[in-house]
Amino acid sequence: MKTTAITRRLSDLGGAKWGLHFRAQELAAQGRDIVQLTIGEPDSPPPAALIDAAADAMRAGRTAYSKGEGEDGLRDALAQRYAARIGRAVTPAQVMCFPGTQTALYAVLMGVAEAGCEVLVGDPMYATYEGVVRASGADMVPVPLHADNGFRLNARDLAARITPRSRAILLNTPHNPTGAVLTRADLQAIGQVALDHDLWIISDEVYDELIHDDSEFVSPLSLPELADRTIVVSSISKSHAAPGFRSGWCIGPEAFTAALLPLSETMLFGNQPFIADMTELAIRQGSEVAPAMRTRFAARARTLADRLDNESPLRVLPPSAGMFAMINVAATGMDGETYAHHLLEHAGVAVMPGASFGATLTDWVRLALTAPDDDIARACDRMVAHANSLMAQPA
C-alpha cells in the first residue's frame, strides 16, 4: 500500500537520536544504578488549583464542542497577558489555542511555508523542529550557533544563508538545548534581516518563565517594527508544570490567525473547553511553581559548573534559562556521542549527546537539571571521577 509524501519526508525522524535514553532505561530496568539526566520535565506537579479547575469545569458540563480558535475567556486572558508584556494592544482575534506548543508549531509552519520554501533554524535546535518544517514541504536551513557567542543566533550568520526561497526564521528563546536567551540587540539585528527579505519570524517562547538569575527575556513581538511579521508560540507545559494537559497557543497578526483558522478547524475542530477554563485560570493568576523551579534549576547549574569546571577537564556553559546545561567534553579526547555512551556504561550517568540536537554540538552533551539535588550531586561525583580516569589513561 502506498503512503503520502509527508510520511516519506518524516520517515527518518524517528527515535534513533534518543537511543542513549532508551539504553539508560534498559540498564535501570536490569537493576543498574543509573542517574538519569536525559529528559527534562518540570520537577513539580501541576498546581492543585489547575487540576481542580479542570475537574470542576467537566462537572459543570464544559465538555461540549469548542470554537476553532479557542474559548473566548482564554483568548481574552492571553491577549491581556501579552499586551501587558509588550506594552501595546493585543486583541483576542490575534490569539489561537492549540493542544500544546508542538501542535501550534505544526499549524503555524503549515500556514507560512510549503514546498519550494526554506525555513532558517538555529543549529543546535529542539528535536522536533526539523519535523515540523519538513511536514510543511519546506526545506530546513540550519544556521550554526556558536559557543563563543553563547549559542545565540548571529544575524550575520543568518543573512549569509538567505536565498530567494527563504520564507521564515524559526527562533527559540529561551533556547533548548543550550539555555541561551536572545538579547534585544540580537532581536533587532535578526529583525532587520527579516525586514530586508520579507520573512516571517516564528518565536517559540515556552521557557519564558524559567529565566535564571539576572538574565532578561525579550520577545520579538515586543519590537513594534516586527509586530506584523512575528508569530509567538507557547504553552503552560513548562511555566505551570503541566505538559500532560497539552494546552498551548499562538499569537500573530489578525490577518494571519484568520487565514489559519480553517486549517486549525480541519485539524482539530476545536479544543476542550474544560482545558481552556483551567488554562485561563493559569494565565490570569500566574504561575505559583515557576519561581521555585527557575531558582532550583539555576542553583543546580551553578553546582554543576563549580564541581566540573574546578575538579575535572569538563567545561560547563551556564544556561541563562530553562532546565538544561551544556557540557563541553572535548578535553577527554572523545566526541559527545562516544563520551555519553562511555559515561553511561562505565559510570552510570545518562546524559544526551549534543549531536542529537544538531551538528554544531559534536563536542558537547546536554544534562537535564530537573533531577533532585542529591542526584545532581551523585552525577557530579561520578562525572568528575570518570573524566579524570579518562585523562589518566595513556595516550
Average pLDDT, the chain: 96
CATH assignment of the domain containing 355: 3.90.1150.10
First to last CA, the chain: 54
**Residues 237 and 304 both lie in one domain:** no
What's the mean pLDDT in 94-103?
Answer: 97
**Residues 53 and 180 both lie in one domain:** yes
**Residues 153 and 168 both lie in one domain:** yes
User: What is the pLDDT at residue 395?
Assistant: 57
What is the tens place of the pLDDT at every residue in 167-200? 999 999 999 999 999 999 999 999 999 999 999 9
Amino acid, res. 363: D
Which of 16-25, 129-138, 346-355 shows the lowest mean pLDDT across its residues?
A: 16-25
| CB-based contact 318:325 (threshold 8 Å) | yes
What is the tens place of the pLDDT at every residue in 289-331? 999 999 999 999 999 999 999 999 999 999 999 999 999 999 9
User: What is the pLDDT at residue 394?
Assistant: 67
What are the Cα distances from residue 236, in Å, to 178, 244, 294, 335? 21, 10, 15, 35
**158 in a structural domain:** yes
Please give the residue range of the domain that contains residue 212: 49-285
Please determine, for residue 96, whether its predicted confidence score (pLDDT) is greater than 70: yes
Environment class of residue 157 by beta-carbon count within 10 Å: exposed (0-12), middle (13-18) or buried (19+)?
middle
Domain count, the chain: 2
What percent of the chain stands above pLDDT 90?
91
**Residues 221 and 271 both lie in one domain:** yes
User: What is the pLDDT at residue 233?
Assistant: 98
How does DSSP classify residue 62?
-
User: What is the pLDDT at residue 391?
Assistant: 87
User: What is the pLDDT at residue 12?
Assistant: 81
Grid cell listed for 367? 544534562
**44 in a structural domain:** no
What is the tens place of the pLDDT at every residue in 263-273? 999 999 988 99
**Residues 375 and 266 both lie in one domain:** no
**Residues 377 and 325 both lie in one domain:** yes
- For residues 233 and 204, give the distance between their C-alpha atoms in angstroms, rounded to a whole number: 5
Which of 1-10, 125-134, 206-215 shows the lowest mean pLDDT across its residues?
A: 1-10
> At which of 256, 285, 314 does a domain end?
285
Residue 385 CA, distance from chain mean position: 31
**43 in a structural domain:** no
**Residues 68 and 112 both lie in one domain:** yes
User: What is the pLDDT at residue 275?
Assistant: 97
Residue 189 CA, distance from chain mean position: 22
What percent of the chain stands above pLDDT 70?
99
CATH assignment of the domain containing 108: 3.40.640.10
**Residue for grid cell 483551567:** 278
**Residues 169 and 243 both lie in one domain:** yes
